[in-house]
Amino acid sequence: MPSTPRTSAGGRRHRVREEALAEILRTGRRLLVEEGPAAVTLRAIAREMGMTAPGLYRYYAGHRDLVQALASSLYDELAAALAAARDRCPDAGAGPQLRAVCRELRRWALDHPREFGLLFAKPVTDADTAPGTLAHDSGWRFGGVVLDLMVRLWRDGGVRAPAGLDPAWTAQLEEVREHLSGEPVPPEVLYVFVASWARLYGTVAVEVFGHLDFALTDPEPLFEHALDDVLAALGGTGRGPAGPHA
């Protein structure tokens, strides 16, 4: 069977390459956490791994490809964490599940502030999520966990949508519609989805980035209040059970 050695050799090469790619991303993430986003360079990673910088070009064509791969892996990690939070209460309904997902988003962000910053503060331009990029697709996998629950709440008929939005403004929401798998969600409801995400993200971000330190030693009640308002706008539950630290 002459094909067996070639197949085995090809499998080994594939495993070696996958292991090298995983180590590169682990090293890049460690540099991000320890030194900040500016430290995530091909040269620095090569130095940490005992390689030459040109050696890394066998795996990534340049800095942008490297950062895109790192951002994509972080989005996938975050998406998995949110999905796990959702699935811990499978029979609770979309409102309680969304509450659990949003609490998990805050927990992950506080536990991983540098990673959260790379994804959502975009401190380096190569971490963008433009259409066609690796981070775009994984970013929407993360966003889909939240968006799918919002769509379920809309189906239940509880979303309070404003009337009379400017059509030129709502046209900007078409990319969101593309990720709804044919769901006929009206633009006014898409607006509520985006406004709800902006409220949640903003509340988490100001805490993670330390912009509430001047006023609050414990911002969790503020987050829970914002979460109550968002769920009310989406037709979810009213005030939910206390958070894990309440």
Whole-model pTM: value is: 0.88
Q: Are 236 and 153 in contact (CB under 8 A)?
A: yes
pLDDT at site 12: 73
Residues of the chain with pLDDT > 70, as a percent, come to: 91
Does residue 152 form part of some domain?
Answer: yes
Give residue 200's pLDDT band: very low, low, confident or very high (50, 70, 90): very high
Does residue 200 form part of some domain?
Answer: yes
pLDDT at site 142: 96
Same domain, 54 and 138: no
pLDDT at site 240: 46
Angstrom distance (rounded) from CA 9 to CA 147: 44
Domain of 96?
71-233
Q: Are 134 and 72 in contact (CB under 8 A)?
A: yes
Distances (CA, A) of 103 to 133, 141, 210: 28, 18, 18
Smallest CA-to-CA distance from 112 within 146, 84, 77 is with 77
pLDDT at site 5: 56
Site of tokens 């509430």: 212
Angstrom distance (rounded) from CA 239 to CA 236: 9
Angstrom distance (rounded) from CA 86 to CA 94: 9
Q: For residue 178, how many C-alpha atoms fall within 13 Å in the half-sphere facing its CB?
A: 9
Question: Domain containing 191 — which CATH number?
Answer: 1.10.357.10
Same domain, 193 and 216: yes
pLDDT at site 245: 43
Same domain, 75 and 128: yes
Q: Are 81 and 104 in contact (CB under 8 A)?
A: yes
